[in-house]
Amino acid sequence: MKPTKTHEVKIFIGSVNEVTKNPFTEKDLTKAIQEFQEKNNCKITVRITKTNFVSGLSYFEKGWEIGAINYPRFFVNISQINKFMISLGSELLSRFKQKRVSVVTPSKTIVLENSYESN
The answer to the question of residue 51 being in a domain is yes
How close are the terminal C-alpha atoms of the chain, in Å?
55
Q: Work out the pLDDT band at 99, boundaries 50, 70, 90.
A: very high
The answer to the question of residue 1 being in a domain is no
pLDDT score at 51: 98
The answer to the question of residue 3 being in a domain is no
Query: Mind listing the pLDDT tens digit for each residue in 7-61?
Result: 999 999 999 999 999 999 999 999 999 999 999 998 799 999 999 999 999 999 9
The answer to the question of residue 118 being in a domain is no
pLDDT score at 119: 45
pLDDT at 107 over 90: yes
Domain encompassing residue 50: 8-113
Q: Work out the pLDDT band at 5, boundaries 50, 70, 90.
A: confident
Percent of the chain with pLDDT over 90: 78
The answer to the question of residue 24 being in a domain is yes
How far, in Å, CA of 3 to CA of 11, rounded? 24
CA distances from 64 to 1, 41, 77, 88 (A): 32, 23, 24, 13
The number of distinct structural domains making up the chain is 1
**Domain CATH code at residue 64:** 3.30.70
Q: Which residues are registered as beta bridge partners of 13?
A: 64
Q: Work out the pLDDT band at 97, boundaries 50, 70, 90.
A: very high
